[in-house]
Amino acid sequence: MADGTYETVIGLEVHAQLATRSKMFCGCPTTFGAPPNSQTCPICQGMPGVLPVINRTAVEYAVRTALAFGLRVNAACRFARKHYYYPDMPKNFQISQYEEPLAEEGALEIDGPDGARRIGIQRLHLEEDVGKLVHEGDFAAAQASLVDYNRSGMPLMETVSKPDIRSPEEAAAYLRAFRAVLLALGVCDGNMEEGSLRCDANVSLRPRGAAELGTKVEIKNLNSFRNVQRALEFEVKRQTAALDAGQRIAQETRLFDAERGVTASMRSKEYAHDYRYFPEPDLVPLKIDAGKVEQARAALPELPRARRQRFAAQYGLPAHDAGLLTQSQALTDYYESAVRAHANPRAIANWITTELLREVDADDEAAVKGARVRPEHLAGLVKLIDDGTISGKIAKDVLARMLASGEDAGTIVKREGLTQVADAGALEALVDQAIAANAKAVADFKAGKTAAAKALVGQVMKASSGKANPGMVDRLVQEKLAKL
């Protein structure tokens, strides 16, 4: 079937682990990677007799996030118990929010190829995470399952988008923009590998123009931007083929297998859990003070999209560069530090986007923060170009060395003697040699092929090992040729 027969409809549920110091309902620490069950207490182990107490910081972070997405923060919300049996969940119910979430009705604006798109956000709520099952060797052969409750009770913020996303690329873009907001707010470390940000997707197809939604399939286990897009692309193809073949789509939950790049059925609707939600009787309704909400609103930092717009306006950057540079807090900070050190925003943006980001993943906060080339060093490099000390070509080599050694540009240029040759006398000799050695180019030039001069400039640059000042060489070549 030709493209465009069906419209893709996607909604994303994002679970973000909040960067609080203690867990959602107890005082246990939240550091990642501790020995199994070393960060647990009777409460997050679900011992008989324990009670939950709400982590105020988690509530603050959720309010902050809700405001950033323009959600309405409810004056009162409630926690509810969600029941199902699984050994990674010590109480066999999860404390979550159901009918009365913390915040509702907002949106995230993303910039797509056809301009800005507004993706609605239905709700945002708080809940606790579950533990992890661990198996020795592979799952099938393991003698027993072991449970690690370190993650049990970690604070999670679930945000459910409306089915406003129209393509797998857009889903990935939404998730990127979402993550950027959380990072700007400082409420989540955004580390997808460690599971700090997890995503489930609901996807359905419908005949283009139809008002009714098709049968949706939920895909779980999407732990990177790339996998979100891959899984959805696979699923769209699968559903398209099924619909084209006249089949009906089964409402089910599917799991993405990142290795094979396919989704596989996990459970169908008939086996869907009855979660038996009811208000958590161990917690009183959570009242959120309107004054505190306003304080939080006033204290919101600049958000990525606003920052992107500011970058374009203030630094005169093309949209693409502005987008790239505001993708993470670390990169934004990097760029602005560099621009503060040397006021050539466009050149610095170029060097970051075309050179630095080849070495460093723009999404990886830690990598950007820890890049061997410090922002002031990159600024120093651009400054050396701007004041004519080195050529752009040499600068690329210098940057490679900076990345390897962590030294600043000036030190490398001085030690390696990479300063541009701008001595007219020395350059004249090289120009003369080039003219003498390239009779054909000279003849071409005389015959009116002005481009032949470029070949001569190239020869001079080569002879100087790239250190000659290209502007001066160009001028000298033109002068000499004119005199011939």
Partner 1 sequence: MQTIHELTAAFTKGESSPVAVAEEYFARIAALDATVGAYLTVTRDEALAAARASEGRYRAKQPRGPLDGAPIALKDVFATQGVRTTCGSKILERFIPPYDATMVARLKAAGAVLLGKTNMDEFAMGSSTEHSAFQLTRNPWDLARVPGGSSGGSAAAVAGGLAAGSFGTDTGGSVRQPAAFCGVVGFKPTYGRISRYGLIAFASSLDHVAPFALDIHDTALLLGATAGHDPLDATSVSEPVPDYVAALSGQVKGLRVGVPDEYFGEGLDPEIDRAVRAGIDTLRDLGAAVERVSLPTTKYGVATYYIVAPAEASSNLARYDGVKYGLRVQGKDLIDMVSRTRAAGFGAEVKRRIMLGTYALSTGYHEAYYGQAQKVRTLVRRDFEKAFARVDVLAAPTTPSVAFKHGEKADPLAMYMNDVYTIPASMTGLPAVSVPCGFNGAGLPIGLQLIGRPLDEPTLLRAAHAYEQATPWHTKRPRLG
Q: How far is CA 272 from the centre of its chain?
A: 33
Q: Does 266 bind partner 1 (CB under 8 A)?
A: no
Based on CB atoms, which residue is closest to partner 1, 50 or 213? Answer: 50
Span from 83-91, 287-295, 342-350, 476-484 in contact with partner 1 (CB under 8 A): 83-91
According to DSSP, the β-strands at 252-257 and 217-222 are: parallel
- The amino acid sitting at 477 is V
DSSP letter assigned to residue 301: P
Q: Minimum distance from CB of 28 to partner 1 (Å)?
A: 13
Based on CB atoms, which residue is closest to partner 1, 212 or 274? Answer: 274
On whether the CB atoms of residues 95 and 55 are closer than 8 A, the answer is no
Q: Does 40 bind partner 1 (CB under 8 A)?
A: no
Q: Which of 179, 250, 173, 170 is nearest to 218 (CA)?
A: 250
Span from 51-59, 135-143, 194-202, 209-217 in contact with partner 1 (CB under 8 A): 51-59
Size of the site for partner 1 (CB under 8 A): 29
- The amino acid sitting at 351 is W
Q: Does 281 bind partner 1 (CB under 8 A)?
A: yes
DSSP letter assigned to residue 362: T
Near partner 1 in 351-370, by CB under 8 A: none
Based on CB atoms, which residue is closest to partner 1, 129 or 321? Answer: 129
Q: Does 46 bind partner 1 (CB under 8 A)?
A: yes
**CA-angle at 210, arms to 206 and 216, nearest 5°:** 30
Q: Minimum distance from CB of 149 to partner 1 (Å)?
A: 9
Would you call 2 exposed, middle or buried from its count of C-beta atoms within 10 A (0-12, 13-18, 19+)? Answer: exposed
Q: Does 53 bind partner 1 (CB under 8 A)?
A: yes
Q: Does 345 bind partner 1 (CB under 8 A)?
A: no
Among positions 93, 178, 256, 335, the unique one binding partner 1 when judged by CB under 8 A: 93
Q: Does 270 bind partner 1 (CB under 8 A)?
A: no
DSSP of 197-266: EEEEEEEEEEETT-SS----EEEEEE-SHHHHHHHHHHHHHHHHHHHHTTPPPPPEEEEEETTTTEEEEE
Q: Does 245 bind partner 1 (CB under 8 A)?
A: no
Report helix, strand or coil for 14: strand
Q: Which of 419, 460, 466 is nearest to 477 (CA)?
A: 460
Q: How far is CA 333 from the centre of its chain?
A: 15
Longest dimension (CA), the chain: 100
Q: Minimum distance from CB of 252 to partner 1 (Å)?
A: 18
Q: Does 285 bind partner 1 (CB under 8 A)?
A: no
Based on CB atoms, which residue is closest to partner 1, 83 or 480? Answer: 83
Q: Minimum distance from CB of 284 to partner 1 (Å)?
A: 6
Span from 82-90, 223-231, 243-251, 406-414 in contact with partner 1 (CB under 8 A): 82-90
Based on CB atoms, which residue is closest to partner 1, 145 or 268? Answer: 145
Q: Minimum distance from CB of 52 to partner 1 (Å)?
A: 7
Q: Does 277 bind partner 1 (CB under 8 A)?
A: yes
CA distance 390 to 381: 9
Based on CB atoms, which residue is closest to partner 1, 47 or 313? Answer: 47
Q: Does 437 bind partner 1 (CB under 8 A)?
A: no
Span from 119-127, 225-233, 269-277, 458-466 in contact with partner 1 (CB under 8 A): 269-277
Cα dihedral across residues 342, 345, 347, 349: positive or negative: positive
Question: What residues contact 114, with CB distance under 8 A and at least 6 apart?
Answer: none
DSSP of 319-346: HHHHHHHTSSHHHHHHHHHHHHHS--HH
Among positions 7, 36, 70, 83, the unique one binding partner 1 when judged by CB under 8 A: 83
Q: Minimum distance from CB of 196 to partner 1 (Å)?
A: 26
Tell me which residues touch partner 1 (CB under 8 A): 42, 45-54, 81, 83, 85, 87, 90-93, 145, 147, 274, 276-278, 281-284
